[in-house]
Each structure stands twice: as C-alpha cells, then as structure tokens.
Amino acid sequence: MATWHALALSSSSRHLAKSVLRSNTTSCQMVSYLRTSACCSGRRKMPNSERKGANTTTSDPSSLFIPIPVKHNPDDINIGAELAPGPKLEKQDLMKMLTKFFQRDEVRNLCRQEGLDNTLYHQAYISFRRFCLESEVLPPELHIVFSDVLQGAGHVDDIFPYFLKHAKLMFPHLSCIGELKQISDLRNPVNWYPEARAISRRVIFHAGPTNSGKTYHALESFLKAKSGIYCGPLKLLAQEVFRKSNERVSGR
C-alpha cells in the first residue's frame, strides 16, 4: 500500500535535527542549569523594568550557566599535612599563591582552551579560592602542591590541574565541550551525510512564477508515486496536503 507523509519543520527543528543526525557520539549529560526559561510552557510576561536587565544578562552566553557549589568533604583526614614536609600552610600564604596563580596569563590561556572564558574563569577562581581558604582539610595532592610552591620546590602553575578539576565540578558542560563543539558545528553542511551523497539520485528542480502550477504538478507527481514525503514550509499547508492526499487515496 502506498504511503504518504506531510511534514512541517520549523527552522529551530531543522537545526536540531541536523545537530542530532550529525552527532556520532553519545551526548553528555548537562548538569549545569540555564537561567533562560524559554523552554518552559508557563513562561510569564516580563515587565519592562525586568526586560532591560534580562537583555544585558543574556548578551553574555556564559552568564546563562549557573555554577554548582563545590563543598569540601568534612570526613577527610589531613593526610597532606603528614606527607608534606615543611611549615604549616597559613591562609595568608595560600592567598598570595592563589592571587599569583589567578593573575598569570599562561593560566588564562590554558583555561580558554578548556572552555573557560573570562566570566567562567573568574567565577571558578572565586569558588576555588573560597574552597582552599575555608577548608580545614585540603585534598592530600593539593596540600602537597601548595607546600612545594611555598618552599620553592614547585611553581604556581602546578595548581592548574586541581583548579580545572574544581571548575569542571562547577560547570559540568566543560567535561564534554569537545562534543558540544562538534555537534553545533554547522559550517560545512556539504560534508554532513557522505553515504547519502554517494547514492545516485534524480533531482527535479521545478521553478516558475507565482500561480504557475508548481505546487499542483509537484503534488500530482507525489500522489502518483508509490511512496513519498511532502515537506511543507507551513504547518497549515502541510495539514491541507495531508487531508487532500488522504481524500485522493481513499477515493481510488
């Protein structure tokens, strides 16, 4: 039995479909929450006073990500103090090392490569600094790194792996930033479907002025075929074609 389908795709749906079809990797779970409520059906109308603030907030894409608080584990044992020789880590010493770490251009460049722009970098640093200064017990590896830097046996850049780990706990999307970039790359659509493009196809492009019968002749060919898909630019038009197609088929 012949089958017919009428589809109406919005522009956003087409982009989403392209992204899903092009993704060959498992999509990562996005734990970071977005401030925008555009996907919510119960969106309220914003007063004019709030719209101005909303426009300035959403102008920076990074402001859409709400950081997840990272807390220390109260059950940790101070193993780092036992393993690391030297004087006790004082908060003022930690503050100096963290400030020097934050101001280094090399660290900023490394963070940009990992998806941390200036906004996210600053938020991650504030959280990491608070974590280091307020934790009674630091993770052993981090404690040893701080101790080495304090005694001149290490460099402040050695803090970066632990800072990056902290940042990824705050912004989980950083763990799959590579996959997100690959999925959202729409620059070369000609290379999206190599297997489909390798198939030998017969394409008919029917052009003409308004009311010249383009749609009529296309639908006639569509209804005479054994199977086919009609993609309409408007939902109302797709529904009309769907109804007329069923009427023609049932009348045979």
pLDDT at site 38: 37
- Per-residue model confidence as pLDDT tens for the chain (252 residues): 444 444 444 444 444 444 433 433 343 433 333 333 333 334 444 445 444 444 444 567 777 888 898 887 766 666 656 666 667 888 999 999 999 999 999 999 999 999 899 999 999 999 999 999 988 888 888 888 999 998 888 999 999 999 999 999 999 989 888 888 888 888 888 888 888 888 888 888 888 999 998 888 888 888 888 888 888 888 888 888 889 888 887 766
In the chain, which ranges are E strands? 3-8, 33-34, 65-66, 227-232
Q: Is the pTM of this model over 0.85?
A: no
- Give the tokens for residue 118: 């200036």
Residues paired with 6 in a beta bridge? 230
Query: Phi then psi for 157, rounded to 5 degrees?
Result: -65, -20
**What domains does the chain contain, in order, with CATH numbers?**
63-180 (1.10.1740.140), 202-246 (no CATH)
229, β-bridge pairs = 5
Let me know if 109 is exposed, middle or buried by CB neighbors in 10 A (0-12, 13-18, 19+).
exposed
d(CA 99, CA 125): 9
Q: How many Cβ atoms from other residues are within 10 Å of residue 217's Cβ?
A: 13
Residue 201 dihedral angles phi and psi, to the nearest 5°: -125, 160
Q: Which residues contact 193 (CB under 8 A, 6 or more apart)?
A: 21
pLDDT the model gives residue 74? 67
The two structure tokens encoding residue 226: 């054994």
CA distances from 137 to 29, 69, 99, 102 (A): 31, 18, 20, 22
Report in angstroms the alpha-carbon separations of 225 from 77, 193, 237, 252.
74, 25, 20, 14
Question: Please, what's the largest Cα pairwise distance for the chain?
Answer: 93
Q: What is the pLDDT of residue 110?
A: 94
The amino acid that residue 187 corresponds to is: R
Phi and psi at 141, nearest 5°, equal -65, -40
Quickly count: other Cβ atoms within 10 Å of residue 78's Cβ. Answer: 12
